[in-house]
Chains A and B, each alone.
Chain A
Amino acid sequence: MTASAVARARARRIALWLVAGLLLAVWAFPVLWGLLTSFKTERDVLAYPPVWLFEPTLNNYREVLFGSASIVPNLWSSLVVSTLTTALTMLFAVPAAYALARLNYPGKRGSGFYVLATQMLPPVGLIIPFYLVLQKVGLLDSYSGLTTIYLTFSLPFAIWLLVSYFEDIPYEMEEAALLDRAGRLRTLWYVILPQVRGGIAVTTIFVFLNAWNEFLFAVVLGGNNVRPVTVAMFNFISVEQTQWARLAAGAMLAMAPVIVIGLVAQRHIVKGLTVGAVKGGGRR
């Protein structure tokens, strides 16, 4: 390699790092700013120009965990709704995705399109009908009500994600199992599901995160009984004042499980996002 080529390669690498660094900064800034804010006093938060050096305090965390405005019950609400949603979604989505990928039944195309179409509706347009329905059946501000509503978007999402995993498995695999006297259900259990394990893991994580992060439906359809943490944080903003430091502390706590899951399942998630991009790339 000539000296100029080496120089060019180095320049390119530096440029790449710069761009990557810039993107990372843009993405990370709010998170880091929030993290800093969560350790500030309310006075430091409002200081202008912003103070970079301040005496960190754990008061905000103490307050949002154990104080009068504790968000622990809300974290619990979020956990219950998200877990219920995830469990029910997977329970229905796995067999539904298998059916869409494999079985021939009347109206298959139609039902496939219907599942996709439900994903196209803007959620904001559904809030009022959902509110009226839940009110009529008396499920406003209840776990079963909110979970049911969450299923309306998490199910189609999960089904569509899973279908691509099922479609990746060769037909012959299933036919071999049928000839081996496994029958439909045992074929699914012993031969198909183990091979889509990765896809099921990814889908489970995505569904959980979507439910955990949901705000719009929760704020309208929840209430004093069921108030997920996303809504509870909103309560730090009121007409008289906005408690930025507590809001930031709450946000950090609400983000913690998401970040932990993200780190643990990082490899799976990246694979899940690129499924279908490369032939067979999503499987195993």
Chain B
Amino acid sequence: MNPPGNVRLEGVVKQHGAFTALHGIDLEIQPGEFFALLGPSGSGKTTTLRILAGLEPVNGGRVLLDGVDVTDAQPGERDVAMVFQSYALYPHMTVAENIAFPLKMVRTPAAEIERAVNEAAAKVDIAHLLARRPGQLSGGQQQRCALARAIVRKPRLFLLDEPLSNLDAKLRVETRAELRRLQRSLGVTAVYVTHDQEEAMTMADRMAVFMEGRIIQVGTPKSIYLQPANVAVAAFIGTPPMNLLPAQLRDGTAVVAGASVPLRHEGAEARDVILGVRPGDLCIGQTGIPAIVEFVEDLGDSVIVNLQVGEQRLKARRDPQGPPLAEGQPVGLSFAPAAAHVFDRETGLRL
């Protein structure tokens, strides 16, 4: 049976020499949650995961698991399991021995080990590979083996460090769903590190967006997508990313490239802002912000139109059934007032 698996980080600071990797991280993860740590490389997400695992000491703050301070506890004392990016399978052991290893280390009776290994292997579909060695497995199979080794001892916390990054694109998408299903069926808390926003969006119950050693925003993928806290998050989440345009805010409208577009920010004082619009929210017509069609990418189910507004490049997603657009064609861009994201140009914060 799984202990609850509640995670709390309080003001966690991590320094590598003069470089500060984490500037005081506060985070709470609920039992049973699939929680993603999302951010570009070097943003501190993997460091946070390794601190949870106990593989990195902290320079300040506390780590609590189920209310118990484990800041100084050894990795083995925390009852957490981890799947490494490289899988870190033991090359000299068979798949069965790899999966059995965590149980063997706590002196589980042999019969119990065998039962648990078979059960874990069946869960990830590698029951037929138990006698092989990691070197004889494909990347996907190795990844499953690493998963089985992690779930076999029923940890209270499941840590995953970019486990899908070594798989090819097709397998990655398949494995996403499987991983999610597996985590649900086990009911275990999972913390998942990724730099792939699509992965985080599709898998996570909630996520934290990391930038330069700080958590910028925590929330459900939906809420972060709809209400990015600042320009950096807005630019990071969504494919293609959000269009960002310098604009002036004036009497509830934004002035972009000479055109005035209505917003919902009535009464706000006049200031320089950055206007963000998702590609899917941009409508291409005759009126609105003047733009030139650069080129068109047909994805089959949708079309990405690359546009130029002054010096700025924008992308718009539209229905492939719409009227055809020629390269160099002048068009007008518009969007619903509710679809606009407005950020302060100085601070980058959402207004």
Contacts and interface: CB of A to CB of B under 8 A. Distances in A.
A170 B105 contact: no
A284 B91 CA distance: 9
B55 interface: yes
A183 B75 CA distance: 9
A175 B84 contact: yes
A180 B53 CA distance: 11
A194 B90 CA distance: 10
A173 B106 CA distance: 18
A182 interface: yes
A182 B105 contact: yes
A176 B88 contact: yes
Given A176-B82, A179-B53, A179-B82, A170 B76 contact: no
A178 interface: yes
Contacts of B80: 179
A181 interface: yes
Given A172-B86, A195-B91, A284-B91, A179 B101 contact: no
Contacts of A29: none
Contacts of B92: 194-195
Contacts of B2: none
A190 interface: yes
Contact of B76 (A173, A180, A191): A180
B165 to A, nearest CB: 14
B84 A180 contact: no
A108 interface: no
Contact of A182 (B54, B76, B81, B82): B76
A172 B105 contact: no
A180 B101 contact: yes
| Most chain B beta-carbon neighbours within 10 Å: one of A181, A182, A190 | A181
B144 to A, nearest CB: 15
B140 interface: no
A181 B106 CA distance: 7
A61 B77 CA distance: 65
B241 interface: no
B105 A176 contact: no
Contacts of B88: 170, 172-173, 175-176
Nearest to A178: B75
* Interface size, B (range): 20 to 34
Contacts of B101: 177, 180, 182, 190
Contacts of A176: 82, 84, 88, 90, 149
A13 interface: no
Contacts of A178: 54-55, 74-76
A181 B149 CA distance: 12
B288 interface: no
Contacts of A191: 90
A259 to B, nearest CB: 31
B102 interface: yes
| Most chain B beta-carbon neighbours within 10 Å: one of A170, A182, A284 | A182
Interface string A91-125: 00000000000000000000000000000000000
A279 to B, nearest CB: 15
A183 B76 contact: yes
B86 A180 contact: no
Nearest to A174: B88
Contacts of B82: 175-176, 179
Interface string A167-203: 0001011011111111100100011001100000000
Nearest to B152: A180
Contacts of B90: 173, 176-177, 191, 195
Interface in B88-111: 88, 90-92, 101-102, 105-106
B157 to A, nearest CB: 11
Given A173-B90, A183-B105, A195-B92, 6 more contacts: A175-B84, A176-B82, A176-B84, A179-B81, A190-B101, A194-B92
26 contacts: A170-B86, A172-B84, A172-B85, A172-B86, A173-B88, A175-B53, A175-B84, A175-B88, A176-B88, A176-B90, A178-B74, A178-B75, A178-B76, A179-B53, A179-B81, A179-B82, A180-B76, A180-B101, A180-B102, A181-B77, A181-B105, A182-B101, A183-B76, A186-B105, A191-B90, A284-B91
A-B pairs with the 5 shortest C-beta distances? Answer: A181-B76, A176-B88, A172-B88, A180-B102, A178-B75
